[in-house]
Every structure is written in C-alpha cells, then in structure tokens.
Amino acid sequence: MDRADLAAFLRSRRERLRPEDVGLPSGPRRRTPGLRREEIAVLAHISIEYYARLEQGRAPRPSGEVLAGIAGALRLTAAESDHLHLLAGTAPAQSGLHRREVRPSILELLERLPQTAGIVVSAAFEVLAWNDLAAALMEDFSKLAPRERNLARKAFLGEEQPPAAIYGISDDVEFREGVVTQLRSVQVRYPTDPIVTELVQELRDGSAEFSRLWSRHDVQLPVPLKKTFRTTAVGEITVDCDSLTLTDGDQHLVLYTAPVGSRDAENLALLSVIGTQGLSAHNHL
C-alpha cells in the first residue's frame, strides 16, 4: 500500500468534483475546491474519521468493499478505479522489470503489414521494434542509442523548453498528457523497476510541464485517434493511430494507416518507396 500516493490521488479526485456532480446543493461559497471530506465519506458509506485518515496517509489498508464505495463517491472511471486498487494494495501489482523483448511473431507481423507503419512500445515508452515505413514516417530508430528511442524523453526533454512537437505531430499536447497518465499507472505496476523510476524522476526534474501534469494524478487508458505527421519526404500525412495491447509483455503495437484511396494513403505509399531507401535492416532494440 502506497499511503502517500493513495492520499494524494484521493485528494486530487475529490477536489475536481462539484456538489452538483453528485446531486448535492452547491450552497454558500466554499473556501476550498471540490467536495468536503465528510461529503465523500457519507457518499461512500464510511466514517468521516477513516476517510480523513486515508487522505492524510495514516489509515490502514482499506478493504475492496470500502474502495468500491469510495470509487463510486468520487465518480472514478474504470481506469481510475483500477489505479485506486493498485495504490491501496488490493490488486496484484507486477513485480520486477517490465518486458523489453518483442515476440518473434510480432517482429514478423510488422514486416508483413502492407502500407502500414508500425512500432512496438514498451510500458516505459521505449520503441522496441519498428518497420521501414515507421522509420520513414518518424525517424530511423536504428541510428539511435536505445536510451534515445524513448518517446517520453523525446516529448518532454531537449535543448528547447518546451520541446517542439516530436515528428511534427498534430496532437502534441494530447500525446504528452497521455504519456504522463500512462507512466503514472506504469510506476504503480513496476515499483521496483529502476528504468521506470529513474525515467519518471528524470522527467520530473528536467521538465516543468511534466512535473505540472504529474501533480494532477490523472489516470486514463489510451484511445484510438487520428494523427498528422510532418515528413520531409512527402509533407503532411494524416493517419489513423491504433494502439493494440500485447498483454503478455505489457507492450503496445501501434499501427498507423490511412483510408484506402485517400490522398494520405497515396502519400503513405509514396513514402514507403522514397522514404525507406538506405534504412538499416535492423528493426528492433
């Protein structure tokens, strides 16, 4: 049970709620944001004293039933509820190191996908594998040291502050927010993994933007979206971005495609010809 993070998470979720969100009258002006502790305790059907101790990091581990009541009172999403259980120690946390080896069948799949740029990303945002079209769309990862293939570092660290949008993507703000929320969950799943803990600390120390977003304690699941890349070879290409979870390795297979017959599909096909020349045959970490 991570008492400090659990306390901070509960406070952050309580402070974002308004009385009308849970069917309570707004009443007179409140001195602090969000609901009061006693209101959450009543909604969760637990004692006010116990809930206060949870937010102070002094309470013993709550039961699953108590956490379910608190999750309902705080109007948590499914991802936030899972995160709450992990913080409280009532859900199994993964131990040891996150997986960085990519299954051979996934490596072969990357090479067989027609007109599709694909990468495999670890739980810590390391690009572990890629195909030629992904290298043309983003960059030739084979020329980078493993440490430099980390998308979280690329998003937040660099000589420019804040760094420019990586690969010229159109959803840079949303991407950075997604990196932070997913890393928060990853840190809970791998509390003893030095790669994860050192990455988070490096980002907090080196980026005011990351530190600000981290303090919000937001948790979410990745969602499918469209993304526009700006390439030197063929200009802008707008693609559908789908992230498929590889559950056995806690990794993501990210695929970039364009609708058949569209101008973007034509540009992607052109990029697969003129943008992949001279790329290294090496396509994984």
Q: Give yes or no: residues 159 and 54 share one domain.
A: no
Q: Which residue has the higher pLDDT, 283 or 119?
A: 119
3-state secondary structure of 253: strand
Q: Which residues contact 266 (CB under 8 A, 6 or more apart)?
A: none
pLDDT of residue 212: 93
Q: Give yes or no: residues 124 and 258 share one domain.
A: yes
Q: Which residue has the higher pLDDT, 269 or 20?
A: 269
Asked if residue 98 belongs to a domain, the reply is no
Q: Which of 88, 118, 147 is the endpoint of a domain?
A: 88
Range of the domain at 49: 3-88
pLDDT of residue 221: 61
Q: Give yes or no: residues 18 and 137 share one domain.
A: no
Q: Which residue has the higher pLDDT, 112 or 19?
A: 112
Q: Give yes or no: residues 71 and 126 share one domain.
A: no
| Domains held by the chain: number | 2
Q: Give yes or no: residues 203 and 134 share one domain.
A: yes
Q: Which of 195, 204, 80, 214 is nearest to 149 (CA)?
A: 195
Q: Which of 27, 54, 88 is the endpoint of a domain?
A: 88
Q: Give yes or no: residues 126 and 266 share one domain.
A: yes
pLDDT at 93 over 70: no
Asked if residue 279 belongs to a domain, the reply is no
Alpha helices in the chain (DSSP H): 3-15, 37-44, 48-55, 64-73, 78-88, 104-112, 132-137, 151-156, 172-189, 194-206, 208-214, 263-274
Confidence of residue 89 (pLDDT cuts 50, 70, 90): confident
Q: Give yes or no: residues 159 and 217 share one domain.
A: yes
Q: Which of 83-97, 150-164, 227-241, 256-270 has the lowest mean pLDDT?
A: 83-97
Max avg pLDDT among 54-68, 140-154, 264-278: 140-154
pLDDT at 281 over 60: no
Q: Which of 62, 88, 114 is the endpoint of a domain?
A: 88
pLDDT of residue 285: 58
Asked if residue 281 belongs to a domain, the reply is no
Asked if residue 255 belongs to a domain, the reply is yes
What span, in angstroms and rounded, lies between the C-alpha atoms of 255 and 121?
Answer: 11
Confidence of residue 171 (pLDDT cuts 50, 70, 90): confident
What mean pLDDT is predicted for residues 186-197? 88
DSSP secondary structure, 125-155, as one string = -BEEEE-HHHHHHT--GGGS-GGGGBHHHHH
Q: φ and ψ at 224, to 5 degrees? A: -65, 145
Angstrom distances, CA of residue 3 to CA of 7, 21, 66, 86, 231: 6, 27, 15, 11, 46
What span, in angstroms and rounded, lies between the C-alpha atoms of 220 and 181?
Answer: 6
Provide the CATH number for the domain around residue 14.
1.10.260.40
Radius of gyration over alpha carbons of the chain, in Å? Answer: 22
Q: Quick: pLDDT tens for 100-150.
A: 888 889 999 998 988 899 999 999 999 999 999 999 999 999 999 888 999
Q: What is the mean pLDDT of the chain?
A: 86
By residue count, the chain amounts to 285
Q: Give yes or no: residues 212 and 80 share one domain.
A: no
Angstrom distances, CA of residue 149 to CA of 15, 25, 43, 124, 258: 37, 51, 46, 11, 25
Q: Give yes or no: residues 197 and 71 share one domain.
A: no
Q: Give yes or no: residues 19 and 113 share one domain.
A: no
Provide the CATH number for the domain around residue 184.
3.30.450.180
Q: Which of 243, 234, 219, 238 is nearest to 271 (CA)?
A: 234
What span, in angstroms and rounded, lies between the C-alpha atoms of 81 and 103?
Answer: 31
> Contact 241/227 with Cβ under 8 angstroms?
yes
Asked if residue 212 belongs to a domain, the reply is yes
Asked if residue 246 belongs to a domain, the reply is yes
Asked if residue 210 belongs to a domain, the reply is yes
Q: Give yes or no: residues 123 and 260 share one domain.
A: yes
Q: Quick: pLDDT tens for 212-266.
A: 999 988 877 666 688 899 888 888 999 999 888 888 778 999 999 999 999 999 9
Q: Give yes or no: residues 262 and 129 share one domain.
A: yes
pTM, whole model, 2 decimals? Answer: 0.74
> Contact 188/2 with Cβ under 8 angstroms?
yes
Confidence of residue 201 (pLDDT cuts 50, 70, 90): very high
pLDDT at 280 over 70: no
- Answer positive or negative: Cα dihedral of 87, 90, 93, 95: positive
Confidence of residue 27 (pLDDT cuts 50, 70, 90): low
Asked if residue 213 belongs to a domain, the reply is yes
Owner of token pair 């993304």 = 227
> Contact 258/113 with Cβ under 8 angstroms?
no
